[in-house]
Amino acid sequence: MFRLRHLFLLISALVLLTPVSAQAQDQREVPLDALYAQLEQADDSNWQALEQAIQSRWAQSGSASVDLLYMRAKSAIEAGDLEGAFSHLGAVTDHAPEFAEGWHLRATAFFRAERYGLALDSLRRTLALEPRHFDALQGVAVVMEILDEPDRALEIYHEVLAIHPRNPDVKEAVARLTKQLATDL
C-alpha cells in the first residue's frame, strides 16, 4: 500500500510541477480531440509533449479568477497546506463546477489527506466532465488498489492505456497486477 501511495504522490507531484513546454504551448491551437487522437498514436519522440499539451488544456478554466484560485490551490498542495488547498478548491468547484481539472486537483488534495472516498467522488466528477481524463482514471485505479480491488484497478488501468498507451507508470501497474492476479489464482 505504501508503494501505491508513493506512486500516486509522485504522479500528482509531476502534474503539479511539470512546466508547460514550448511544444505544448504550440499545441494550444490544436483541438483537444485531435490531441487525444495524436496521443493514442504517439511514439517515444512525442508522447510527453502531447501529454503536457492535454494537461495544459485541462488547466484552463476559461475564467481568470478561477484560474487564479486553481493556481493558489495547486501552490498550497505543493507547500503541504491541504486546508488552504481545500479552501481554494471549494471556491473553484463552487464557481466553476464544469471545470474538470478543478475536481481533479480536489481529488489530489483529498488523496494526499488519505480521504480516499472523497478523492473517488472528486475523480468521478472529473470523469463525468472529461471521460478521457487519463490522470483521473489512473487516480481511480490507484485508489482501487489501495482499497484492495486489484481486478477493478487492472480494468481501469487498461482504460487508461486505451487513451494514453505510452504511460510508463500505467504499463508497469498493468504488468505488476497481471502477475499478482495470476499468482493469486
Please count the other Cβ atoms lying within 10 Å of the Cβ belonging to residue 144: 22
Beta strand extents in the chain (DSSP E only): none
Q: How far apart are CA 12 and CA 30, in angstroms?
A: 25
Residue-level pLDDT, tens digit, the chain, 185 residues? 656 665 555 555 555 545 544 444 555 578 999 999 999 999 989 999 999 999 999 999 999 999 999 999 999 999 999 999 999 999 999 999 999 999 999 999 999 999 999 999 999 999 999 999 999 999 999 999 999 999 999 999 999 999 999 999 999 999 999 999 999 77
Longest dimension (CA), the chain: 53
CB 52 within 8 A of CB 18: yes
Whole-prediction pTM? 0.84
